[in-house]
Structure 1
């Protein structure tokens, strides 16, 4: 009981915002992440991989969580069991992590399917190829008195709308939803969707689209 209390006090004394990772620690985390992702991709349990490498389940868990630095022999055993080149386990180390800051009013206006109906699209940022396997496209969409309803859109991925201003009746499949400021709509964008009626203008809403990254 006392040990548990001491552990709790230690956790509470740590600053969650402190940057504690050193170069070596980053490498451990990168290797651990690769091992876990490759194992899950191959539908292997921790016990399966531990048995194939001669490691204990506890030791494998520490490696996957970046707690310890595995020896080169252990890394080689893991690569062999996962059927990948040894260097692949280092592939996540020190890779750049993208970030984009767009100031107010500086989103890039681009053309999309609804442009010809008077829908204005402002791309709020873009990160190219990344390790997440997901592409995210954030837009600010503006509808004015010069806008018209568009038949419907249809594309792969998941989309989320967040209403900022105005009122719009928005169709998704066979359903129509009234969107007012503060409302959110999350949906599979492979179904036909789009503004059905423009009730109160101007209308502005965020549209965030995610879909798998093509290798």
Structure 2
């Protein structure tokens, strides 16, 4: 597949899951379920869609954000329109969500070096979203200060994460917790030499 058939990472204004990011996160699972329902192997779908099997595998695992061109090719091969992959599904209210450790969904994030494994229900169903975050050494939120509605809670379970919030710096080690309003300009990063893991919680703003 041509290199330009994959969207470049988009600079985000916030680290928490947004409605758009959640929709993007559902593209991979939708593609996987549809491919399995059609009975196609990765190679079979690659052959009929002209999208490489490696790219399809990455998309299904939320390791790659496909372009419209790629979704058109996959949709045509699978007999669905592009809207199938990005439409918000009308789901009944879900007031209880159980997530086994081995079934945590991958949550899309545009930040390099940050991976998120979801531990809560849909952000469309609940007011809170949380993930087990892994931040590799040197990863950060970028030069641009982040600001958004709502609140964030970060509880570090391993390693060290550094935050700059409203001009004040915080170094969070194992067991430390930080709770702040998203409207306060902030940045985060891992300046240590080993990965950091944290429970990262976002509370929806009005």
Instruction: Pick 1 or 2: higher relative contact order, CA cutoff 8 A, min separation 6.
Output: 2
In the superposition, the TM-score normalised over structure 1's length comes to 0.46
In the superposition, the TM-score normalised over structure 2's length comes to 0.48
Rg larger for: 1
Q: Which structure is higher in strand share?
A: 1
